[in-house]
Amino acid sequence: MSDLKERLNATVAYLQDKIGDNIPEIALVLGSGLGDFGDELRDVITIPYKDIPHFPVSTAPGHKSRLIIGNIGGKRVVCMQGRFHYYEGYSLQEVVYPIQTFKMLHINNLVLTNAAGCTNEAWNVGDLMLITDHLKLQMGSPLRGENPDFLGPRFFDMGNTYDSDLRSLTLNIAKKQGLTLREGVYAYSTGPNFETPAEVRAYRMLGADAVGMSTVPEAIVASHMGLRTVGISCMTNMAAGIGDSKLDQDEVIVAGKKVKPQFTALLTSLIAEWK
């Protein structure tokens, strides 16, 4: 673990030199098609991932591969315009490295967003879903191996991974904005292939309302480190076997852009009212 700590210290030192004393209060991970939220920030500092020591680089379509630090909703925030996925060839440890970096920067609040396939047949493409819990059926954990004790305990609770108080706040904001915000369970799939109709039926039987290829590894380490976390999914397509359409990556990007006004309004108000 000394190697991880040394790498994190080097990453943090670089970022602190760029950011100065005005450390962000909240970190946001912006999913596929949702990265434009970072362009809403003011007084920004932009840092490409390729310039940050030990940071991976995003290769997924629609991910700009940079940090945006700026002001919105009366707070200083940092946005990841692009995340890392297991399917890109990164290890789970590399996928979660930015979240561990945020903790080392003393950022204790996290918003995880993603594009997801909708498994709930009563919902629609373009719906936003507040994540209440998740399903992870794949083997492997970003915390497999020696525990980084300086970040969190060996064994830890996952009962309030998606903070109940923050979920209540988000729902109240959505209600005031007249936004239909679904609540549901997110199922994690490693990708890069979309799920089969049989897998979607299985996820639905297990209680999943959406399925996607991200978020859960980050949520695991967020719980490990005690970060207050909220998760929001955008239903960018109906999952395989629900309807006759063939799934592709372009519809994910298009659907994300269509929901941008509602998504931006919700996130901005959430940041402003976050305590």
pLDDT digits (tens, 9 = 90+) for 192-220: 999 999 999 999 999 999 999 999 999 99
Per-residue pLDDT, averaged over 165-191, amounts to: 98
Q: Tens digit of pLDDT for each residue in 86-122?
A: 999 999 999 999 999 999 999 999 999 999 999 999 9
Please check the confidence at residue 248 and state whether its pLDDT lies above 80.
no
Assigned token pair, 42: 């003011």
Measured CA to CA, the distance from residue 23 to residue 66 in angstroms comes to 17
Q: Tens digit of pLDDT for each residue in 19-59?
A: 998 999 999 999 887 888 999 999 999 999 999 999 999 98
Domain boundaries, the chain: 2-273
53-54-56 Cα angle (round to 5): 115
Q: Which residues contact 208 (CB under 8 A, 6 or more apart)?
A: 119, 135, 184, 185, 186, 187
Please check the confidence at residue 1 and state whether its pLDDT lies above 70.
no
Measured CA to CA, the distance from residue 139 to residue 155 in angstroms comes to 17
Measured CA to CA, the distance from residue 222 to residue 180 in angstroms comes to 27
| Residue 188 pLDDT class (50, 70, 90 cuts) | very high
Mean pLDDT of the chain: 94
Domain 2-273 has CATH 2.30.30.90: no
Cβ atoms < 10 Å from Cβ of 14: 17
